[in-house]
Structure 1
Amino acid sequence: MSDLFRFSSAVAHDPAVEAWFSYGDDVLRRLAKPWFEVMRACGEDVRELIHDGRPTACADDAAFAYVDAFQAHVNVGFYQGSDLPDSAGLLQGAGKRMRHVKLRWGEPIDEAALTALIAAAYTDIRRRLRDEA
């Protein structure tokens, strides 16, 4: 049985994702958007959808990352995050697979390390898809 989280409804560009980022005047959603753009730019096979109320990025139909905005912070989350290299120590969470990075408005972000985590998550999901084939 696969440990991948798959969404057959993921599409190249989901208007519902744009609507999520445009909802109200939410500064935290604006903080999350550039990180979702990094996810979108990972490859031509990146698809997206809203899952559980949050923008989710997939390689083909396999989810690799998401963003979510809360009252006081943003999560940049990774579906297979427990297996990602994290030399900067950004990842939080204790679940079997998922991990996230918490961003707070006005606090510094290690942009290089977070960009590397997103790229690693994409590379990891592509490898997992190849291994399943």
Structure 2
Amino acid sequence: MRFPSAVRRDPSVEAWFAAPDDELRRMAQSWFEQMRGCGADVRELLHDGAPTACLGDAAFGYVNAFSAHVNVGFFHGAMLDDPAGLLVGTGKRMRHVKLRPEQPADAAALSALIAAAYRDIRQRVRFGE
């Protein structure tokens, strides 16, 4: 997916995380910060109500908070190596990791997925996929 309106820091993303008393959005924020930290070329926007991270204009990840869980999603997640088995979903391309406050996340494995998604989108953009 391409989002030409993605910018370095989107005020609407900042506002999404600033929602008062929303524990799940704060939980999602740390994972989105990791996406932001993947490189100087990371851009962002609010897409379908969710903070979305892009390499330039090419989306690679997003976070979203629901009533009882957080999704950390990947636009090409079906193609990512997932040795810890964190990814769920049955779509042709997209996959996500479902996080719940009462269950500790496998932080190392999720961090590795975020890094892999960034590397994957760099390859896709480089080769025009």
| Structure 2 runs not aligned, ≥5 long | none
Deviation at 1:23, TM superposition (A): 1.0
Deviations 1:88-122 (A, max 9, x none): 00000000000000000121110000000000000
2:37 and 2:18 map into 1 onto residues whose CA distance is: 20
Which of 82, 85, 98 aligns to 2:94? It is 98
2:8 and 2:102 map into 1 onto residues whose CA distance is: 32
Runs (4 or more) in structure 1 with deviation over 4 Å come to none
> Are residue 66 (structure 1) and residue 62 (structure 2) matched?
yes
Please provide the CA RMSD for this pair.
0.8
Report the counterpart of residue 86 of structure 1 in structure 2.
82
> Are residue 118 (structure 1) and residue 125 (structure 2) matched?
no
1:102 and 1:52 map into 2 onto residues whose CA distance is: 18
> Are residue 20 (structure 1) and residue 8 (structure 2) matched?
no
Secondary structure at the residue paired with 2:127? helix
Structure 1 length-normalised TM: 0.95
Report the counterpart of residue 33 of structure 1 in structure 2.
29
What count of residue pairs does the alignment treat as equivalent? 129
Structure 2 length-normalised TM: 0.98
| Structure 1 runs not aligned, ≥5 long | none
2:60 and 2:128 map into 1 onto residues whose CA distance is: 15
> Are residue 50 (structure 1) and residue 49 (structure 2) matched?
no
Deviations 1:74-96 (A, max 9, x none): 00000000000000000000000
Q: Quick one: percent identity of the two aligned structures?
A: 67
2:7 and 2:69 map into 1 onto residues whose CA distance is: 27
